[in-house]
Amino acid sequence: PKTLRLILGDQLNQQHSWFKEKNSQVTYLMMEMLQETDYVTHHIQKVAGFFAAMRAFKDWLREEGHQIVYYKIDSEQNQQDLSKNIKAYLKENEFDKLEYQLPDEYRLDQQLKDLRNELNIETEAFDTEHFLTQRNDVAEFFKGKKQYLMENFYRMMRKKHDIMMEGDEPEGGKWNYDEENRKKYKGEVPIPKAYSYKTDVSDIVSSIEKAGIKTIGSIDAENFHWPIDRQQAQQFARYFCKELLPHFGRFQDAMHTEEKFLFHSRISFALNTKLISPTEMVDYVLKYWHEDQDNISIAQVEGYIRQIIGWREFMRGIYWAKMPDYAEKNFFDHKRKLPEWYWTGDTKMKCLEKSIKQSLCDAYAHHIQRLMVTGNFALLNLTDPAVVDEWYLGIYIDAIEWVEITNTRGMSQFADGGIIGTKPYVASANYMNKMSNYCSNCHYSKTKKYGDKACPFNSLYWNFYHVHEDKLKGNQRISMMYRTWEKKGKEEQQKILKQAETYLDKVDEL
Ligand code: FAD
């Protein structure tokens, strides 16, 4: 049958079985669309990165001898809507069948289901052949459980895929080496230069501007540094294994004013667009480890692999288990907006200034910056999770809803009431100072809870627990916090709460 095959912008998987054979009956269709650029305000690097990677994929398909129809954002026939474009294309051209790969986003999944019902030709959905799990595996695994424990899922994945196993036992005798990780970075080892490309994406940026697409953040259009094709992604991965993996786990949670990337792999964009697969990342990491055990310890390797086959697959499974309800969850009933400076980084709090400015400049922040700096503050600010989601979904180059919303609404904002996390990730200046050098040059004082220049995290932290006592006091993992709070005595409590109130009232000025 004459077949039209749709490829979405995050389905750039050259290894997919679709491409194994050339078939003159098959035409591929790819489209840059306002539908995708405008559902939230994205970072300019994110829009440009997606378009650049899609165009590179289109060129590869063509070189491989496949037939491909590609709509640029300014193509004349582009109606900027997935369903409209497909319907119009099918009307002009005779096809017997439409095939597509299962989208990772609920929004697109619904749209394609609706489209299938409207079309009067045969349609078929295929797996993306990217993940190690199917959409519903996590739901099946935790059937009947209220809380989803990542660690249990992760162990199952290790066994099932025989990764770092010695028979039924974990290699090295432990499943998890976290306690050896998570050190503050004090310059003990130099951080290798960030690997980066210098792809010229000026054409793409000007067509984004001409199309009137609203974006945030900045871009060096002549030196776009993210990987945009499979080869670049593989080089990135190899560089990571050789140079950064030896210290990845150790400094995984560290933050530093002068070091934006530390030992992180920055592979999330390449992974989420499927330029590279999770299995390949695992293979790379294991290969480099086996070849260089003197420099790479098991703790680094296990820590990395847990992120890929554990957290990443787990979050995707939660997404499919809980959507669409998940997108409405607001356990604390928070209603506030984010401070204005989330879009400029102009705040006197050094940790937030650094994390936000870096996000605007690079469309990137590492996990702990997202979780314990911007996410932590958003939660202490009692922010509406919908607003928080919108910010995260827009600003990061790797942000696609399935992995953004589970991390943001779930892990970071505890808006799911504890499906993903066992307790909210909130912390005061104490944590910030333990894991970073942010506090040393800050306008605010890390030790003060109230009074002149008291670090806002300190009073807001206690305020959060105070405000949500009803919802949190019964949580065993938190009850100790309430005892500490009670011990402070009424007078001290009042001072702290008063300070929090003042800060919340003028949060834009912090
Ligand atoms: P590394 O630290 O080098 O880790 C390697 C890989 O492990 C990552 O590329 C990623 O694929 C995977 N990984 C690590 N942690 C997680 C996690 N918690 N969930 C899923 N995968 C993980 N990740 C996204 O890919 N897209 C998002 O939109 C996104 N939004 C987030 C929002 C919040 C509030 C938080 C706390 C985390 C979010 N994350 C998101 C997870 C994580 O922060 C990023 O995957 C990571 O920072 C990407 O940088 P890296 O490639 O250098 O990661």
Question: What pLDDT is attached to residue 219?
Answer: 98
412 lines ligand 1 (CB under 6 A): yes
Asked if residue 245 is part of any domain, the answer here is yes
Residue 443 vs residues 346, 358, 455: alpha-carbon distances, Å: 13, 19, 9
Tell me whether residue 330 is in a domain.
Answer: no
Task: Answer yes or no: are the C-beta atoms of 272 and 400 closer than 8 Å.
Answer: yes
pLDDT at residue 178 is higher than 90: no
pLDDT of residue 183 exceeding 80, the answer is yes
pLDDT tier, 16 (very low <50, low <70, confident <90, very high otherwise): very high
- d(C-alpha 273, C-alpha 485), whole Å: 46
Q: Are residues 376 and 439 in the same domain?
A: yes
Residues 270, 276 contacting (CB under 8 angstroms): yes
Q: What is the distance between the alpha carbons of residues 321 and 145, in angstroms, rounded to a whole number? A: 12
* Total-model pTM: 0.97
Cβ 307 under 6 angstroms from ligand 1: yes
311 band by pLDDT with thresholds 50, 70 and 90: very high
Probe target for ligand 1 pocket from 196, 359, 407, 408, with the most ligand atoms within 8 Å of CB: 407
Total domain count for the chain? 3
List C-alpha distances in Å: 478 to 289, 412, 428, 483: 38, 16, 15, 9
Quick one: CA torsion of 156, 160, 164, 169, rounded to 10 degrees? 70
How much of the chain exceeds pLDDT 70, in percent? 100
196 pLDDT higher than 90: no
Q: Judge if the beta carbon of residue 358 lies within 6 A of ligand 1.
A: no
**Residue 166 confidence (pLDDT) above 90:** yes
**CB 401, CB 106: distance < 8 Å:** yes
Residues 492, 500: Cα–Cα separation, whole Å:
13
In a domain, 329, yes or no: no
The residue whose C-alpha atom lies closest to atom 36 belonging to ligand 1 is: 371
Query: 77-81 long-range contacts, Cβ below 8 Å, gap at least 24?
Result: 78/31, 78/32, 78/33, 80/33, 80/34, 80/35, 81/33, 81/34, 81/35
User: Is 334 part of a structural domain of the chain?
Assistant: no
Mean pLDDT of the chain: 97
Q: How do strand 122-126 and strand 97-101 relate by DSSP bridges?
A: parallel
Q: Which of these three, 322, 350, 365, is where a domain ends? A: 322
Nearest to 251 by CA among 191, 181, 178: 181
pLDDT, one tens digit per residue, over 436-457 is 999 998 999 999 999 999 999 9
Q: Which atom of ligand 1 is nearest to the CA of 411?
A: 36
∠ CA 312-318-319, nearest 5°, is 90
Same domain, 291 and 351: no
Same domain? 273 vs 396: no
Residues 261 and 383 in one domain: no
Residue 368, domain CATH: 1.10.579.10
Give percent of the chain above pLDDT 90: 96
Residue 182 pLDDT grade (very low, low, confident, very high; cuts 50, 70, 90): confident
Q: Which of 43, 9, 8, 28 is nearest to 364 (CA)?
A: 43
Ligand 1 contact, 366 CB (< 6 A): yes
pLDDT of residue 181: 77
For residue 390, give Cα distances in angstroms to 66, 363, 441, 455: 37, 14, 30, 27
Shared domain for 121 and 175, answered yes or no, is no
Residue 146 confidence (pLDDT): 78
Task: Point out the domain boundary residue: 126, 154, 181.
Answer: 126
Which atom, in ligand 1's list, is nearest to the CA of 408? 34
| Residue 180: pLDDT over 90 | no
pLDDT at 5: 98
379 with 464: CB under 8 angstroms? Answer: yes
Task: Please tell me if the CB atom of residue 411 comes closer than 6 angstroms to any atom of ligand 1.
Answer: yes
Query: How does pLDDT run across 220-274, given as a tens digit for each residue?
Result: 999 999 999 999 999 999 999 999 999 999 999 999 999 999 999 999 999 999 9
- 80 and 157 in a single domain? The answer is no
Question: Residue 249, class by beta-carbon neighbours within 10 Å (0-12 exposed, 13-18 middle, 19+ buried)?
Answer: buried
Confidence band of 189 (pLDDT split at 50, 70, 90): very high
Same domain, 46 and 195: no
Confidence band (pLDDT; 50, 70, 90) for 30? very high
Mean pLDDT of 406-424: 96
Task: Confirm whether 224 is domain-assigned.
Answer: no
Ligand 1 atom 49: the closest Cα is on which residue?
Answer: 266
With respect to residue 299, please indicate whether it lies within any of the assigned structural domains: yes
Looking at the fold, whether 366 and 478 belong to one and the same domain comes out as yes
Picking from 292, 322, 352, the residue at the C-terminal end of a domain is 322
CB of residue 398 inside a 6 A radius of ligand 1: yes
Strand ranges (DSSP E) for 358-461?
none
pLDDT average, residue stretch 332-346? 98
- Which pLDDT belongs to residue 199? 97
- Phi–psi pair at 170, nearest 5 degrees: -70, 140
b/e sequence 468-491, b meaning 16+ C-beta within 10 Å: beebbeeeeebeebbeebeeeeee
Is residue 320 over pLDDT 90?
A: yes
Amino acid at the residue 200: D
Check whether residue 363 and residue 318 sit in a common domain: no
Write down the pLDDT at residue 151: 95
Range of 32's domain?
A: 3-126
Lowest mean pLDDT among 44-48, 104-108, 190-194, 355-359: 190-194
What are the start-end ranges of the H helices in 190-251?
202-210, 230-239
In a domain, 335, yes or no: no
pLDDT digit string (tens) for 115-162? 999 999 999 999 999 999 999 999 999 998 877 899 999 999 999 999
The CATH number for 249's domain is: 1.25.40.80
Question: Ligand 1 in contact with 399 (CB < 6 A)?
Answer: yes
* CATH number of the structural domain spanning residue 117: 3.40.50.620
Ligand 1 pocket, mutate which of 46, 268, 271, 373 (most atoms under 8 A from CB): 268
**Are 346 and 314 contained in the same domain?**
no
> Could you tell me if residue 275 is inside a domain?
yes
Nearest residue (by CA) to ligand 1, atom 42, is 367
- The confidence band for 70, taking pLDDT boundaries of 50, 70 and 90, is very high
**Token couple for 397:** 């180059």
Identify whether residues 147 and 291 lie together within a single domain.
yes
By C-alpha distance, which of 439, 448, 492, 429 is closest to 466? 492
Are 112 and 190 part of one and the same domain? no
